[in-house]
């Protein structure tokens, strides 16, 4: 397993349909385990520094794993042999976040870095666009509805059009860094949840940019994920599971 911190994780199915847990570590390795048996699989070790994010990326030749971190390069590789197929270069500082979205009917990979730049790549590794929208590091990315959302240490959440990188909106409300964002399905559409250092969880309508709800929490919030029918929030001390009422 990892010798230091785990900075990110995702789940995907291998060629036989076996679910795999993939974890990015500050030791520079990406570790894998069978999600059913717990068996450890040989890690991917081609990063040269901390790995901050990992995502499953559907492509024409099957699902790839995208991993990225402090060595500034995004690597696309297959879980079967752990050999890097593509190295995506263009970021000039630590890559801090990854997210998978859809552009023109094809999977695409969004990435962001410590300088505040958001980039989009085709699933074959071709660079599509780059936008510098944050004045500080981007802490998280996610796809929400038809848009890409980025959360910044500058306190802003920005929404982007996947087709051309056009800025759609800036969501303002957090005081201090926004540490995590995720899509929240409700009533046949998706809303956006955000969590921050200001000890709040906020819910937004990405179509209008309107803040819908503010939920105070007792500790700085570091991450969020929608699991089943609950919004799970990682706090500096513990976890919180919230039921989000239909909007």
* 128-151 confidence digits (pLDDT tens): 999 999 999 999 999 999 999 999
- Does the pLDDT value for residue 85 go beyond 50? yes
Letter string b/e over residues 75-107, b meaning 16 or more CB atoms within 10 A of that residue's CB: bbbbbeebebebebeebeebbbbbbbbebeeeb
Q: Which long-range contacts (CB under 8 A, 24 or more apart) does 110-116 make?
A: 110/141, 110/143, 110/148, 110/150, 110/162, 111/68, 111/74, 111/141, 112/138, 112/141, 112/150, 113/72, 113/137, 113/138, 114/138, 115/91, 116/152, 116/154
**Dist CA 171 CA 185 (whole Å):** 19
Give tens-digit pLDDT for 101-119.
999 999 999 999 999 999 9
pLDDT confidence of residue 247: 45
pLDDT confidence of residue 13: 81
Name the residue with tokens 């991917």: 44
pLDDT confidence of residue 15: 64
- In terms of phi and psi (left: phi > 0; alpha: psi -120 to 50; beta: otherwise), the region of 199 is left
Where are the alpha helices (H) located in 91-247, listed in sequence order? none
Sign of the dihedral defined by the CA atoms of residues 31, 108, 70, 77, in that order: positive
Mean residue pLDDT across the chain:
93
**Cα 115 to Cα 31, 63, 153, 178, distances in angstroms:** 27, 29, 10, 15
**Dist CA 156 CA 21 (whole Å):** 31
The band of 1, judged by pLDDT with boundaries at 50, 70 and 90, is low
- Does the pLDDT value for residue 14 go beyond 90? no
């Amino acid at each position: 397993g990892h010798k230091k911190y785990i900075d990110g994780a995702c789940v995907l199915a291998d060629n036989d349909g076996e679910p795999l847990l993939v974890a990015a570590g500050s030791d520079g390795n990406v570790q894998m385990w069978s999600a059913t048996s717990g068996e450890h699989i040989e890690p991917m070790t081609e990063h040269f520094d901390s790995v901050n994010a990992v995502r499953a990326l559907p492509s024409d030749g099957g699902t790839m794993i995208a991993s990225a971190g402090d060595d500034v390069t995004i690597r696309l590789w297959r879980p079967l042999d752990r050999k890097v197929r593509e190295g995506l270069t263009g970021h000039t500082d630590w890559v801090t976040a990854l997210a998978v979205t859809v552009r023109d009917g094809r999977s695409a990979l969004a990435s962001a870095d410590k300088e505040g730049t958001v980039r989009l790549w085709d699933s074959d590794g071709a660079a599509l666009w780059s936008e510098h929208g944050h004045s500080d590091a981007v802490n998280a990315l996610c796809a929400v509805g038809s848009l890409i959302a980025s959360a910044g240490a500058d306190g802003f959440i920005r929404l982007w059009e996947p087709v051309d990188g056009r800025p759609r909106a800036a969501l303002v409300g957090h005081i201090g860094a926004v540490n995590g964002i995720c899509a929240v399905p409700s009533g046949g559409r998706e809303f956006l949840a955000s969590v921050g250092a200001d000890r709040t969880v906020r819910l937004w309508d990405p179509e209008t940019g309107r803040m819908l709800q503010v939920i105070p929490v007792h500790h700085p919030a570091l991450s969020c994920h929608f699991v089943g029918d609950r919004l799970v929030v990682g706090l500096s001390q513990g976890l919180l599971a919230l039921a989000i009422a239909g909007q």
